[in-house]
Amino acid sequence: IATSLPLPSEGDHLRPRIDLIAFMIDIKSKYSLRNVEASLAYVDASFFLGKVCFLVTGVGRLNCCSVEMSAIWKLREVYSSPVLFCELELEGIRVATAQRLLRMLEICAGLIPGVSALYFGSLMSRS
């Protein structure tokens, strides 16, 4: 878990393999969107082949939005990566979102036979 990229180089040899990158965007904060946009420059292009997703939080309060939905859709299109929406303040939605992310991670890590991260990513980005 990192607040921004690039990751510090110290401890590289101890860092586990990265199978999925989930960028969190708080729809109530333009700063969170700018932070994600700045961090995207540090992600290797190969990760955008099914190993990146955008998690948009705060969607239960769309009347308090600081981030335009068009900016979210643009990220999805430019990076060919799926977008998940959730409201972290509601436990049921938080649990369901965590389960979806865990399933995505299992696929990206190659733990689900017959389903590749690239195939799964293309399915998610179309939905």
Give yes or no for a contact between 29 and 67, defined as CB atoms under 8 angstroms apart: yes
pLDDT value of position 71: 94
Place of tokens 């700045």: 38
Q: Which domains does the chain have, with CATH numbers?
A: 18-125 (3.40.50.300)
The answer to whether residues 54 and 76 touch, using CB atoms and an 8 Å cutoff, is: yes
CB atoms within 10 A of CB 120: 19
Query: Do residues 19 and 118 touch, judged by C-beta distance below 8 A?
Result: no
Contact between 59 and 87 under an 8 Å Cβ cutoff? The reply is yes
Q: Is the pLDDT of residue 115 over 90?
A: no
The arithmetic mean of pLDDT across residues 47-54, rounded, is 87
Q: What is the pTM of this model?
A: 0.85
